[in-house]
Amino acid sequence: MIRKCLFPAAGYGTRFLPATKSMPKEMLPIVNKPLIQYGVEEARDAGLQHMAIVTGRGKRALEDHFDISYELEHQIRGTDKENFLNGTRELMDTCTFSYTRQVEMKGLGHAILSGRSLIGDEPFAVVLADDLCLNLDGDGVLTQMIKLYKQFRCSIVAIQEVPMDQTSKYGIIAGEQIREGIYRVNSMVEKPQPEDAPSNLAIIGRYILTADIFDLIEDTEPGKGGEIQITDALMKQAQNGCVLAYKFQGTRFDCGGAEGYIAATNFCYESLYKQGL
Ligand code: UTP
């Protein structure tokens, strides 16, 4: 079964400069909690216990976040502020955290390959923490995808419909619908212009990958933007066997840019923070 979740978090976060000049994008707070923690909570809620984080230079804050801060904790011990750390503490008690560095930022595919030593030879989940996915009325997105994996045992990408004029921001799939909201992928294009896009079904930052993806990434040449694209490796997997695309239940915020970040902040403030959740 799936036990591990990989968090590629080595990107430069250029859309959020200067905030991300010396701070990882994944540490940006949505109200009072950093993006990475939302991602880890989603993975933990899906039953995953081993968090594997791919970091890069200047990303030490990610490691420190899931560690004890003796001085601070001593300072607030016995006060009501102690409760603010309960969520983080619970994750530290129930999950393991391991880290590796992507030395050169050669794209998402390359970042996933950098995590190979932490994952080994087993299927795993991938969360891009700057895509915040929430489903307040039911299962989280990774939980939904793991249920699907149990039935199909192949790689799965989460998708959503996007306006046609935004296809150039995403990997876009085409495929045959085999069930309501589930497609068997037969084509995948990285960031196509609208006229070249095979559909408006865009891949977002949640994946279940089978371990053969690593060899496929190793054989993948740099693609769009000179980066090693995960979509190119997934396309080979789709041709060799099967990749599914899943239209998830819930809401996704692209917190890598200001608009999605503000929308996520407003949503979480109203729906979670003010409700004491
Ligand atoms: P993005 O496309 O959002 O790139 O990466 P980015 O560099 O983080 O942000 P911008 O576009 O410059 O603002 C998607 C995910 O892949 C990770 C990022 O950390 C993010 O979670 N990534 C990307 C890596 O880990 N390594 C890379 O070389 C590229």
Nearest CA to ligand 1 atom 10: 13
Distance 14 CA to ligand 1 centre (A): 9
Atom of ligand 1 nearest to the CA of 24: 19
CATH of 4-273, one of 3.30.420.10, 3.90.550.10, 3.30.420.140, 3.90.1300.10: 3.90.550.10
Q: Per-residue pLDDT for 202 more than 80?
A: yes
Model-level pTM?
Answer: 0.96
Predicted pLDDT at 57: 85
Average pLDDT over residues 253-264: 96
Distance 126 CA to ligand 1 centre (A): 13
Closest CA to 111 of 234, 229, 222, 237: 229
- Work out the angle between the directed axes of helices 35-45 and 86-94 (0-180°, nearest 10): 50
User: Is residue 185 classed exposed, middle or buried when 0-12, 13-18 and 19+ CB atoms within 10 A define those classes?
Assistant: buried
Predicted pLDDT at 277: 76
Q: Per-residue pLDDT for 125 more than 90?
A: yes
Q: Average model confidence (pLDDT) for the chain? A: 95
The rounded percent of the chain whose pLDDT value lies above 90 is 86
Predicted pLDDT at 156: 98
Neighbours of 7 (CB within 10 A): 26
Predicted pLDDT at 92: 96
Closest CA to 237 of 178, 152, 118: 152
Predicted pLDDT at 241: 83
pLDDT band at residue 224 under the 50/70/90 scheme = confident
pLDDT band at residue 258 under the 50/70/90 scheme = very high
Nearest CA to ligand 1 atom 5: 11
Q: Per-residue pLDDT for 223 more than 90?
A: no
Average pLDDT over residues 1-8: 96
> What is the bridge-based pairing of β-strands 182-190 and 243-247?
antiparallel
The rounded percent of the chain whose pLDDT value lies above 70 is 100
**Lookup: tokens for 122:** 């087993």
Average pLDDT over residues 30-37: 97
Q: Give the separation between CA 21 and CA 90, rounded to whole angstroms.
A: 30
pLDDT band at residue 225 under the 50/70/90 scheme = confident
Nearest CA to ligand 1 atom 16: 108
Residues with CB under 6 A from ligand 1: 8-15, 25, 54, 102, 105-108, 110-111, 128, 130, 256
Nearest CA to ligand 1 atom 1: 11
Distance 13 CA to ligand 1 centre (A): 6
Distance 15 CA to ligand 1 centre (A): 10
Whether 200 and 172 have beta carbons less than 8 Å apart is answered as yes
pLDDT single digits (tens) 170-198: 999 999 999 999 999 999 999 999 999 99
pLDDT band at residue 5 under the 50/70/90 scheme = very high
Nearest CA to ligand 1 atom 4: 11
Atom of ligand 1 nearest to the CA of 56: 25
Distance 127 CA to ligand 1 centre (A): 12
Q: Per-residue pLDDT for 257 more than 80?
A: yes
Predicted pLDDT at 59: 86
Q: Which residues of 148-182 are buried (b: 16+ CB within 10 A; e: fewer)?
A: bbeebebbbbbbbebeeeebeebbbbebeeeeeeb
Average pLDDT over residues 65-87: 90
Q: Per-residue pLDDT for 144 more than 90?
A: yes
Predicted pLDDT at 58: 82
Among 28, 99, 128, 229, which is best to mutate for testing ligand 1, by the most ligand atoms less than 8 A from CB? 128
DSSP the chain: ---EEEEE-----GGGTTTTSSS-GGG-EETTEEHHHHHHHHHHHTT--EEEEEE-TT-HHHHHHTS--HHHHHHHTTSGGGGGGHHHHHHHHH-EEEEEE-SS---HHHHHHHTHHHH-SS-EEEE-TTEEEE-TTS--HHHHHHHHHHHH-SEEEEEEE--GGGGGGSEEEEEEEEETTEEEEEEEEES--GGG-S-SEEEEEEEEE-TTHHHHHHTPPP-GGGS--HHHHHHHHHHHS-EEEEE-SSEEEETTSHHHHHHHHHHHIIIIITTT-
Distance 134 CA to ligand 1 centre (A): 20
Average pLDDT over residues 245-272: 96
